[in-house]
Structure 1
Amino acid sequence: MFKQLVLASSNAGKVAELQSLLADYGVEVLPQTQFGVPDADETGLSFIENAILKARHASRLTGLPAIADDSGLAVHALGGAPGIYSARYAAMHGMDNAQDSKDAANIRLLLQNMQQHTDRSAEFHCVLALVQHADDPVPLIAHGRWSGQISQQQLGEGGFGYDPIFWLPELGKTSAQLAKADKAALSHRGQALRLLLTQLRG
């Protein structure tokens, strides 16, 4: 097991979540911003491609093993959108507003696009890629998925991204209403990390 990993993300929510999830295993997660590493160009067409691109980029510029997360929300009625473009969904459609946070703009556009749809099923996906070095020919890949629905309105103050509208019917609440420990146990990111740790131990 590694003692230190660079996380190829400048997303504070992802950094905090992965730091918390890996703390129990004695792994120190260092955000790439600590090394002045800029975000990689996400030119892939899938979560897997983008995760590997980001991990190699961070490892190349730091010389350390790196882990990258590429995740997003796939809504069935929208043909899998926003998908790999989840983080920049509103910006790509010219719907971002200086008065909104990026998350708020993305949520507003998604709810708007869902107004005419009765099928509100969706999945959060997370792909984690871990490379021991920048040219690692066998990156470890783990894919977690979390099924739910798109709620009619925002509920909850926790989490980040689309959490306030990701409704979990079996729990009667959104992801943003979950306690951190409960979210870690259920989430796409938590699932992917446990799969990755199983591979590392193996």
Structure 2
Amino acid sequence: MRHRPLTGKVVIATHNAGKLREMQELLTPFGIEAVSAGELGLPVPDETGHMFAENAAIKAHAAAKATGLPAFSDDSGLCVHALDGAPGLFTADWAGPNRDFRAAMERVHRELEKREATDRRAHFVSALVIAWPDGHEELFEGRVFGEVVWPPRGDRGFGYDPMFQPDGFVETFGELSSEEKHGIDWSKPEPEGLSHRARAFLKLAAGCLKKASA
């Protein structure tokens, strides 16, 4: 499949400050000028999709149509295996209208306790979509597996990060630095990323981005 290159200015279709920060850091090596939907005062579209990719596309296309610029969107969530994949698409909704993720993490713990679940396996999913004003779109997905822990640990990251411990680590996402969580060493012949968003971004970069000149 031939991908469309992304250059110049792009809208990051999010009002989530933590997600915006990660996306801006990921885009920095490519010389992309990024402005957020929040900064532009764009409304948050209704996420009516049944998959992460569909919701990411809704947000990206809405921003592209409103601004006339390519728009870059992420829809992501935590899927806890013993909860049949919940909160999943409702990852943000579990935090309520005030986005209280401490309450959301408590709900995950409470639901596991109610089920007397011993399986703590979980994974994060990230669907990244770039949409152009002419309707063209590109989709890239990434996942990271691990387990949920209680009590939550760390005050870094955002969302459910303090209760997610990725495979191969003793720290949670809430204890890892930004660089450890989603930093990518682009000097390596085969760059790697830990987080779901970094893994999706690696695919996006390979298809649509070109490193900026030093």
With structure 2 as the length reference, what TM-score do the two structures score?
A: 0.86
C-alpha distance in structure 1 between counterparts of 2:95 and 2:57, whole Å: 25
> How far apart are the structure 1 equivalents of 2:129 and 2:48?
16
Q: 1:158 to 1:58 in 2, by over 3 A?
A: same
Q: Secondary structure at the match of 2:54?
A: helix
Residue 169 of structure 1, CA deviation: 4.5
Hey, what's the Cα distance between the residues in 1 that align with 2:169 and 2:104?
A: 24
Local SS of the residue matching 1:198 = helix
1:89 match: 94
Which amino acid in structure 1 is aligned with residue 127 of structure 2? V
For the residues of structure 1 that align with 2:55 and 2:87, how far apart are their CA atoms? 15
After the TM superposition, which residues 10-25 of structure 1 pair with which residues of structure 2 at under 5 Å, given as runs? Answer: 10-25=15-30
Following TM superposition, by how much is the alpha carbon of 1:135 offset from its aligned partner in structure 2, in angstroms?
A: 2.1
Q: How does 1:127-166 map to 2 (within 5 A)?
A: 127-133=127-133, 135-136=135-136, 139-166=137-164
C-alpha distance in 1, partners of 2:150/2:134? 43
| AA of the residue aligned to 2:202 | R
- 1:49 is the counterpart of 2:57: no
Match of 1:192 in 2: 200
Instruction: Tell me if the contact between 1:9 and 1:31 (Cα under 8 Å) persists in the aligned partners.
Output: yes
Contact 1:71/1:126 (<8 A) preserved: yes
> Per-residue deviation at 1:195?
0.5
Q: Does 1:170 align with 2:161?
A: no
Structure with higher helix content: 1
Inter-CA distance 50–201: structure 2 relative to 1 (3 Å threshold): same
Q: Does 1:119 align with 2:124?
A: no
Is 1:4 the counterpart of 2:9 in the alignment?
A: yes
SS in 2 for 1:176: coil
* % identical equivalent positions: 37
Asked if the contact 2:144/2:195 (under 8 Å) is kept, the reply is yes
Give the letter for the 1:192 counterpart: A
Runs of 4+ in 1 over 2 A off after TM superposition: none
How far apart, CA to CA, are the structure 1 residues paired with 2:38 and 2:95?
A: 25
The superposition leaves residues 122-154 of structure 1 with CA deviations (integer Å, 9 ceiling, x where unpaired) of 000000000121522xx1100000001010211
5+ residue gaps, structure 1 = none
In structure 2, distance between residues paired with 1:31 and 1:165 = 28
Quote how far apart the aligned CAs of 1:53 are.
0.7
What secondary structure sits across from 1:126 in the alignment? Answer: strand
